[in-house]
A and B are shown apart, each in its own frame.
Chain A
Amino acid sequence: MSDTRAHIVILGAGIVGSACADVFVSDGLRVTLIDRSFPGSGATAEGMGHIVAMDGSPEELALSSYSRELWHSLSGSLSSSCEYRRFGTIWIAANDRHMSAVAAKHRVYDAIGIESHILDPAQLYRQEPNLRPGLAGGLLVPDDVVVYPPAVARELVDRAVARGAAAIFGVDVVRVDGPTVYLADRQEITGDVIINALGIGAPRISPHVPVRPRRGHLVITERVPAFVHHQLVELGYLDSAHGTSPVSVAFNVQPRATGQLLIGSSREFDVENSTVDWEILSRMVRLAVDYLPNARSLDAIRAWTGFRPASADGLPYIGPDPYNENVWLATGHEGLGITTALGTAHLLLDQLRGRSTAIPAEPYWPARILEESRGER
């Protein structure tokens, strides 16, 4: 983008849109950020806020580790309300088969310079005494982070606005025609580029983009400080996250800065209502108390569901929309939206500016899927 003062219109002030606004404005672009509600009020408010180097595929690892570094750099400027904590993650190995997966994971992390430590059982229990006996060990990834995403989204937006971004909240986008965005209150905003960061709502504006809502359940407990010290995830989680089974549940427990435990996680496709499903909720909680038997007596105070924007192939869509030359996409982040939001924003910025990107951008281009689906027709 040769015009240094180009006008970027960002649709959606979730964590992705908010990060884009902050990063773009910092680089001198003109930004208008639009959300039908308020910053961080959709999937951003419903998820865990786990910033994790995730190795489901080389591309996923590249983006998540790049983004994780950006989070580390951002952390100094976040206020305490963002609850940024470098708790780290421990991937739990229940058995010897999992332990060999731990070794493989360690090698993968090592190869791209991510610190991790293999824990034998004694080391695991020293880190997390509340885990049930008999586990095989684990992999500690010390630099993974926990944040409170709605506060981060709000803060990124506040910063962007303070530097001159325009924000239109509480107004829905009706349609996009060429470079113009039409809003429900009859405003028309024309930009040089429109960023579709609407999460599961992205197909409303870009109907050809395959984004499916993937429902998840979470439960939060009363404050029980120091009950666990790291985000604890079973190694089977990757199977759950990347498998395609209609319903999957995995052990995933997060310590919050408040001392509460946030308990996940479940994944379901093709469910649209937000009503908590007892079977799934209790399967999830059973898994949590199976790994953490002392948690049985802890009070759960709230359970809810949320919807992840799942792409067709497990990677987000970041880049030009091949069907609309005015629109760039930033959606399909599934369960990694918080982790990869900053990476997404920087990848987009560098491409908009015509600069080289910190990691290869092509794997995330939407064209990959759209051309594929066109070929199938």
Chain B
Amino acid sequence: MKQKNPIANPLIVLREEFDDWAILFDPDTGNAFGLNPTGVFIWKHLDGKHDTDAIVGRLREEADDVPADAAEHARQFIASLEQQGLVGYEVQT
């Protein structure tokens, strides 16, 4: 069994309120999670077509001064989203 790329839970609402900041709203629980602009960028690329390295690669193309350890931070961020049920993986059997 091989895990594929991360996919945002389609039930979760990305609510962009001010500038590039946003909240993720889970209508089933009513919980909301704040996202900074980098988090929003990553969330928008959780489409099953990009793995973490590809997302960080896109981030480097679009933003200046992306830190060297950004991929590790992105992995941790995606893992925390997964823990909260906001992100899943398509599984290839």
Instruction: Decide whether A and B assemble into one complex.
Output: no
